[in-house]
Amino acid sequence: MISRLITALCIIGVPLVSLEAQTALTHDQREAREIFQQLIEINTSYKGGSTSPAARAIAARFLAAGFPAGDVRVIGPAGDKDSSVIVRMQGASKTKKPILLIAHIDVVEALRSDWSLEPYKLTERDGFFYGRGTSDVKGGAATLAAALLRMKRNGETPDRTLILGLTAGEEGGGGYNAMEWLVKNHRDLIDAEFALNVDSGDPLIKNGKPLLRALQTSEKLYQSFALETTDKGGHSSLPGTENAIARLADALVRVTRFRFPVQLTETTRAYFDRAAALETGQTAADMRAISRNPADSGSSARLSISPFYNAQLRTTCIPTIIEGGHAPNAIPQRARAVVNCRIIPGEAPAAVLAVLVKVVGDDSVRVSPIDDGAVAAAPSPLTPEIMAPLEKVTRQFWPGLPVIPQMETGATDGARLRAARIPTYGVSGILLDIDDIRAHGRDERIMVRSFYDGVEYTYRLVREFAGTRR
């Protein structure tokens, strides 16, 4: 089936742009690449850079394209530090609420000493685009900006108003999250019936072949807990039976070995049911079985061997930081660890805390929540209004590729919008290799071909959702 997909892609004329074909780029592809390069080459990490120059650069492009000044806003709470850009493309309908299109333009810091090439420079090599933010998520931001600019250039008017929000602070470290700030202080600028988020819901390739078109409708709640124990201490030459580090270590072993019960949501149940068609043998059978009966212990045990499937099945908690002791020749007076949990939507952090206290089973180890700014939000519903346009464009672009609902195990700004009752759907258009995900890592990259595919796919998808007409 996959081989027929590749053939079909060629037949319908989907742009599969090779490195050698760069000189033959269309105007739309060149513009998207220029936006992409501009974003990559502005350092938007919190420590070493700022999103404000990137926000102003995007704003300038829209103003030059003829968007009214009142519809292009560079805005933020901290003066010229870490601003966002909000662009409004007015629609014909006076009754339908807008559609919000989002991506963040801040990135995780990248050190030149860690990379084999310059991280804040767009480098095209061997069929890949390299640079910090290529996959997370400046490539996606470029596809959204390019789609609206192309619609404007073509004289297209959306039925629904489109709002583009390229924001700051999603990666953390800056003291505020722009999406949260906008919701609280400028809701009118981003208020919408629903949002499309290119920071999740990636279409995936495996072994060079298209695998699935993910649709992210929910994400786990990010919440950390501190485990801490203390002791009177003393000279290391006179040890007793108690030791703060040893007690903490025992507690961490118990937490690490514990598995929360399986808890499926509408999204994860649909995921396992539909993804079973992409697997074979026992794995396919286990996926179908668990989607019908989450209490099937045999199926859950076998699926849980995979970290990815395990994270879809249940809440997870793992130690991520440990510290303790004050001198090499002293009995430790204190030991502390951070346990990071990713909680299934609908499960309360207080309930997870109670489970951890029970698992630790030691009153001398205090377990307490850390304020991580976690945002609890219900999953976005799988409605025909969302599924029909997405499946239509996917059939046109990637015939036969299944659309599969997905729960994000990480975190995006979608949670803040869902919490504000704006349903949000992850729908990136850039195919990622399931075995080569480099977001936040060394030599981050995406395939050149996938970027140009994403430019075209995102344009078609936005037009379909917006009901565009000339």
Report which DSSP code applies to 469.
B
As a whole number of angstroms, the distance between CA 435 and CA 418 comes to: 30
Q: Do 18 and 76 fall into the same domain?
A: yes
Partners of 60 in beta bridges: none
133: CATH:
3.40.630.10
The maximal CA–CA distance of the chain, rounded, in angstroms, is 84
Q: What share of the chain is helix, strand, coil (3-state, %, to 5)?
A: 40, 20, 40
Question: Angle, nearest 10°, between helix axes 139-153 and 448-466?
Answer: 50
For 447-468, write each residue's pLDDT tens digit.
999 999 999 999 999 999 999 8
Q: Last residue of some domain: 370, 404, 439?
A: 370
Q: Do 135 and 204 fall into the same domain?
A: yes
As a whole number of angstroms, the distance between CA 166 and CA 152 comes to: 18
* Amino acid in position 385: E
As a whole number of angstroms, the distance between CA 437 and CA 311 comes to: 17
The CA distances from residue 32 to 14, 51, 62, 350, 452, in Å, are 16, 19, 13, 45, 8
Query: What pLDDT score does 377 carry?
Result: 86
For the chain, what is the domain count?
A: 2
Query: What pLDDT score does 174 carry?
Result: 77
As a whole number of angstroms, the distance between CA 393 and CA 19 comes to: 26
Q: Do 21 and 148 fall into the same domain?
A: yes
Classified as helix, coil or strand, 46 is: coil
For 291-311, write each residue's pLDDT tens digit.
999 999 999 999 999 998 999
As a whole number of angstroms, the distance between CA 430 and CA 202 comes to: 7
Tokens at 265, concatenated: 């949501």
Q: Do 183 and 106 fall into the same domain?
A: yes
Partners of 206 in beta bridges: 209
Number of other CB atoms surrounding residue 67 within 10 Å? 19
As a whole number of angstroms, the distance between CA 157 and CA 160 comes to: 9
338 upstream amide cis, omega within 30 of 0: no
322: CATH:
3.30.70.360
Classified as helix, coil or strand, 277 is: helix
360 upstream amide cis, omega within 30 of 0: no
- What pTM does this model have? 0.87
- Pairing between β-strand 99-104 and β-strand 123-125 as defined by DSSP bridges: unpaired
Q: Last residue of some domain: 370, 389, 406?
A: 370
Query: What pLDDT score does 376 carry?
Result: 81
Give the residue numbers spanning the domain of 39. 2-218+378-466
Q: Do 230 and 304 fall into the same domain?
A: yes
Query: What pLDDT score does 23 carry?
Result: 56
In tens digits, the chain (470 residues) has pLDDT values of 333 333 333 323 334 444 444 558 999 999 999 999 999 999 999 988 999 999 999 999 999 999 999 999 999 997 778 999 999 999 999 999 999 999 999 999 999 999 999 999 999 999 999 999 999 999 999 999 999 999 999 999 999 999 999 999 999 877 789 999 999 999 999 999 999 999 999 999 988 889 999 999 999 999 999 999 999 999 999 999 989 999 999 999 999 999 999 999 989 999 999 999 999 999 999 999 999 999 999 999 999 999 989 999 999 999 999 999 999 999 999 999 999 999 999 899 999 999 999 999 999 999 999 987 777 888 999 999 999 999 999 999 999 999 999 999 988 999 999 999 999 999 999 999 989 999 999 999 999 999 999 999 999 999 999 998 76
Q: Do 40 and 144 fall into the same domain?
A: yes
Q: Do 261 and 365 fall into the same domain?
A: yes
Q: Do 21 and 110 fall into the same domain?
A: yes
Element spanning 39, H or E? helix 27-40
As a whole number of angstroms, the distance between CA 202 and CA 426 comes to: 8
**The length of the chain, given as a count of residues:** 470
Q: Last residue of some domain: 322, 353, 370?
A: 370
Q: Do 213 and 229 fall into the same domain?
A: no
- Pairing between β-strand 221-230 and β-strand 432-433 as defined by DSSP bridges: unpaired
Q: Do 366 and 406 fall into the same domain?
A: no
CA atoms within 13 A on the CB side of 355: 18
Q: From 379, 66, 463, select the one nearest 200 (Cα to Cα).
A: 379
Any alpha helices (H) in 193-317, and if so which ranges? 244-257, 266-275, 281-292, 297-303, 307-313
Q: Do 41 and 165 fall into the same domain?
A: yes
Query: What pLDDT score does 78 carry?
Result: 77
Q: Do 393 and 436 fall into the same domain?
A: yes
As a whole number of angstroms, the distance between CA 164 and CA 173 comes to: 24
